[in-house]
Chain A
Amino acid sequence: MPPRLNLLTVPRTIAYRPKVAASSLRNGALTRTSPLYRNYSDSKDTLGADRSKDPTTQPLGGVSEEAAKTADITGSKGPELEQGTPVEEIVKDDKEAQSKLPKVMQDSIKSHGPKGSRSFSTSARRCDFQTEGLIHAEMPPPLASMPPGVKFGLPTLPVPADAHLKYRYDPAVKLFTNLIMEHGKLSVAQRNMALILTHLRTSPPPTISPLRPLLPGSPPPSHLPLNPTLYLTLAIDSIAPLLRIRSQKGAAGGGVALQIPVPLGLRQRRRIAVEWILAAATKRKNRGSGKGGFALRLAEEIISVVEGKSSVWEKRGMIHKQGVAARANLKLGIRR
């Protein structure tokens, strides 16, 4: 017995329309080509012709207008369209009569003229200088050697690193900002970052301790406040650890974890350094009150890092010492 349900036939007709090819769509959007044939009912006008004067496009009148028109054609007397006495027309040229009109009508006569100005503005802020556009007013003269289709000239290569929208801030500053951020509030973090940089700019130049040398080749301390981004980057990079200690469970035998040093990349090193600075700043005492308290503590911690006073230096020293001790545990890739 054949199965009652036939899977191969379609139970009902499907309204299936084949997909319009993308190329034909694009053509239709860009250029209106006239069709090859024209129906009798189609207008003889071309597509873009002005049809606003066409009798077919005019709105229909009311019932009384229609009746009046029919009466006009048949020669009979139709309904009166004008209601009341057209006083305004009567007194149109009579100044004396106009002055005796009620106030409402005087106002309506006056209001026919063009108004002085609106009470509200429909434009953006007025510019006093006509030459000032939103974009740089003096356009560069079109060069003869400019390739066709280029309006503002080609960018000078190589494109600077911060020209991209997503990478417009200094990478170290951006990393720091993102690590300050709490609950996804980036703008609060950015405000705090601005406060930190301002504090670095306004505090006196740091006195660098010879016991805690900064990165080799760092600028003299008097140059730092005027370049707060460099100041911050120098503080982060100076304390950034070179490695971390990974403990491998049970590898040392007897359930003891084996300490293995692992080298870190630039972002990883910076990230650890920033986290140490944040931890040290959290333990500091808040001196003032209000919004910028944490930013102030953070800025003071950064200065103390550069001056070699911060406890972060001990952390870094400890990790490095551990790394030296755990060097023996490294199994470099010796293959047989």
Chain B
Amino acid sequence: MPSSVCLRRLSLAPSDLTAHAMASRSLLAYTQTASFSQSAPLSAKPGQGKPAGPARGERTLNLGKNKKVQRDMGKRPAPGERKALRKRVVLSNTNALVVEGLNDLTVGNIETGDMQGQVVGLSEPVIDSLRAVEAFKATQGWHLFRRPAMLMRRETTQVSALMRDVETRKKTVRRILAGDRASGKSTLLLQGLAMAFMKKWVVISIPDAKDIVSAHTEYAPLPGSNPLQYTQNAYTANLLAQIAKANSEVLSKLLPGTDLKLPIPTNRITTLADLAVLGSKNPELSWPIFNALWTELTQPGRPPIMLAVDGLAHMMAPSAYLSAEAKPIHAHDLVVVRHFVDHLSGKSALPNGGMVLAATSGSNQPGSPALKFSVQLAEARAQGATDLPMWNPYQLVDQRVMEVLKDVDTLKLHGLDKRDARTIMEYYAASGMLRKQVDEPLVSQWWTLAGNGNIGELEKGSVKMRA
């Protein structure tokens, strides 16, 4: 819910015409208003008057028949403590067995592609970077195994082939990752990010699009924008901090080439990592600094860029923010979202090449019929269908979303084949998490029960002990 402070600030921004109109109307309605007020200008100080009830933990006389046994609740958890516990991402289980012969993913074996169909581990620096961009989700099964490892599936090889294409031909690849629920879309995104980190790309990732549009961070109109756009300073500052932390190795070797044109002294900035850190420490300047960083990154000779977002459907709908007229602001009017969407739609290209990956979510998605339709259309197009699906003309459509997703391709995730299913189940068994002999009948049985090898269901069935 937006805070009242922000609304008050917004109401100053447009002309005071509406305010005048309101005033005249109220004068007409109440002609007998007094010119002064006798009520106190401030409400009473807290602590004065009768308290609403006994303080916590205080003993009170209870003569009633049904006495409730009061439990000592102790100290209340600090603000944010319980949420932090809920959102905690654990990447290691010290009880799990060490898997012998588990190789790490390296730049070399990404290039050769001989890791397809195998489970590979991630090296420490990559894990740190992925943690910084919040690529690991608390709902995924990382907490069960000794160290993060993943299956290199067919779709992963497709992504790595696309990345090779980007590097050789400096083109911009745009893809929506679509598929069934729990088919591994977020994990594929994570694999893409991991490969980008290894190849020394610059990675800018929005871990969950819901956080941008849910109106939990402050916002303000961007001065001089037409149509009106909105900045989110706290969010952008946090994003810059994530960029600086995750890409510190790459950004600390890049020097600013152009004049940064920032309203604060920039003589201490020697690398782009410094610039990102500066933006994270000055939230009010975070958007101009993000722009300056982007300008620097798109200069010739810079590394390719990976732009990623998870939970795309949240971006393709009106946000929970309200404008000065108390109308919902479309998500595309938020500057960070617009920046991403412009690159997804192909309106802006990445001059040094790069990749824009947007994963849809199967479990947390608001209804976005235009997105759903666009994905269907893209899939039909990819199959070479002659009569493409048509939008029902009697249904309202979010035209902005349709326009943006007009020619974006999808990368559809299917279930694993039986060989891959066997590989991942053998990894579960080797970690000590699946206490069964992995043989052909067991693999067939679980593969079938998991909806033709849907990897999330496979994990749920074989590892998560639903009983």
| A285 with B95: CB separation less than 8 A | no
A115, B387: Cβ atoms under 8 Å? yes
Contacting chain A: which of B294-302, B400-408, B440-448? B440-448
A119 touches B144 (CB 8 A): no
Interface residues of B in 352-395 (CB under 8 A from A): 380, 383-390
Q: State which of A117, A134, A169, A283 has its C-beta within 8 Å of the C-beta of B386.
A: A117
Looking at the complex, which one of B95, B383, B467 makes contact with A169 (CB distance below 8 Å)? Answer: B467
Q: Check A227 against B465 for contact (C-beta < 8 Å).
A: no
The yes or no answer to A228 lying at the interface (CB within 8 A) is: yes
Shortest distance in angstroms between B427's beta carbon and chain A's nearest beta carbon?
15
User: Is B281 in the interface zone, CB < 8 Å from A?
Assistant: no
CA distance A128 to B389 in the complex (A): 24
Question: Would you call A127 an interface residue if the criterion is a C-beta within 8 Å of the partner chain's C-beta atoms?
Answer: yes
Assembled-state Cα–Cα distance A116/B74 (Å): 70
- Give A205's nearest chain B residue, CB to CB: B95
Q: How far is the CB of B438 from chain A (nearest CB, A)?
A: 14
Q: Verify if B170 is at the interface (C-beta below 8 Å from A).
A: no
A110-126 interface (Cβ within 8 A of B): 115-120, 125
Contact B465 A228 (CB under 8 A): yes
Interface presence of A257 (CB below 8 A)? no
**Residue in A138, A170, A173, A226 whose Cβ sees the most chain B Cβ within 10 Å:** A226
Contact pick for A225, options B74, B95, B384, CB 8 Å: B95
Flag whether B93 is at the interface (Cβ < 8 A).
yes
Tell me which residues across on chain B come within 8 A of A173, comparing CB atoms.
467
B261 at the interface (CB under 8 A from A): no
- Residue interface bits B68-106, CB-to-A below 8 A is 1, else 0: 000101100100001101100010011111000000000
B417 in the interface (beta carbon within 8 A): yes
CB pair A119–B415 under 8 Å, yes or no, is no
Say whether B448 contacts A193, CB under 8 Å: no
A174 to B384, CA, bound (A): 51
Instruction: For residue A162, give the distance in angstroms from its CB to the closest CB of chain B.
Output: 10
| Contact status B441-A289, CB under 8 Å | no
Q: How far is the CA of A191 from the CA of B466 in the complex (A)?
A: 7
Of the listed residues A169, A229, A285, A288, the one surrounded by the most CB atoms of chain B closer than 10 A to its CB is: A288
The answer to whether B73 touches A198, judged by C-beta atoms less than 8 angstroms apart, is: no
For the complex, what is the distance from the CA of A108 to the CA of B432, rounded to whole Å? Answer: 64
Known: A117-B386, A204-B94, A225-B95. A198 touches B464 (CB 8 A): yes
Q: Which of B82, B93, B144, B465 has the most CB of A within 10 A?
A: B465
Q: How far is the CA of A198 from the CA of B141 in the complex (A)?
A: 10
Q: How many residues of A contact B (CB 8 A)?
A: 43
Which residue on A lies nearest to B452, using beta carbons?
A125
Cα A132 to Cα B387 with chains together (Å): 31
Asked if residues B387 and A119 are in contact (CB atoms below 8 Å), the reply is: yes
User: Which of A194, A201, A289 is B86 in contact with, Cβ under 8 Å?
Assistant: A289
Bound state CA distance, A138 and B418, in angstroms?
13
Q: Determine if B115 is an interface residue (Cβ-Cβ < 8 Å).
A: no
- The B-contacting residues of A in range 172-191, CB under 8 angstroms, are 173-174, 177, 190-191
Chain B contact residues: helix, strand, loop or mixed? loop
The answer for the CA separation of A127 and B453 in the assembled complex, in Å, is 11
The verdict on B166 contacting chain A, using a C-beta distance below 8 Å, is no
- Chain B residues with CB below 8 A from A201, complex form: 93, 95, 144, 433
Q: Which residue in chain B gives the minimum CB-CB distance to A135?
A: B444
Contacts of B452 in A (CB 8 A): 125, 127
Q: Is A136 an interface residue (CB 8 A)?
A: yes
Return the contact of B82 from the options A194, A226, A287 (Cβ within 8 A): A287
Q: How near does chain B come to A47, taking the closest CB pair, in angstroms? A: 41
Q: Which of B77, B93, B96, B417 contacts A128 (CB 8 A)?
A: B417
Q: Which of B71, B387, B433 has the most CB of A within 10 A?
A: B387
Of the candidates A135, A194, A289, the one whose C-beta lies within 8 Å of that of B448 is A135
Q: Please state if A285 and B417 are interface contacts (CB–CB under 8 Å).
A: no
Query: Are B448 and A134 in contact, with the CB atoms below 8 A?
Result: yes
Tell which of A116, A202, A205 touches B144, judged by Cβ atoms closer than 8 Å: A202
CB of A234 closer than 8 Å to a CB of B: no
**A289 near B82 (CB under 8 angstroms)?**
yes
Which residues of A sit under 8 angstroms from B448, Cβ to Cβ? Answer: 134-135
Cα(A212)–Cα(B386), bound, Å? 74
Q: Is the CB of A226 within 8 A of B432?
A: yes
| Distance, CA A42 to CA B466, complexed state (A) | 63
Give a binary string over B414-436; 1 marks a CB under 8 Å from any A CB, 0 the rest: 11011000000000000011010
Contact at A132–B417, with CB atoms within 8 Å? yes
Q: Residues of B contacting A134 with CB < 8 Å? A: 448
What is the bound-complex CA distance between A116 and B466, given in angstroms? 44
Once the chains bind, are B386 and A116 in contact (CB under 8 Å)?
Answer: yes
Write the nearest CB–CB distance from B26 to chain A, whole angstroms: 44
Give the contacting residue for B418; candidates A120, A132, A191, A229; CB below 8 A.
A132
- 17 A-B pairs within 8 Å (CB atoms) are namely A116-B387, A117-B387, A119-B390, A128-B417, A136-B440, A136-B445, A190-B466, A190-B467, A198-B464, A198-B465, A201-B144, A202-B144, A226-B95, A228-B465, A229-B465, A289-B85, A290-B82
The 6 closest A-B pairs by CB, nearest first: A116-B386, A288-B85, A289-B82, A225-B95, A136-B444, A119-B389
Q: A115-B386, A128-B417, A226-B435 provided; 10 other pairs, C-beta below 8 A?
A: A116-B385, A128-B414, A132-B418, A135-B448, A190-B466, A197-B465, A198-B144, A198-B464, A229-B465, A287-B85
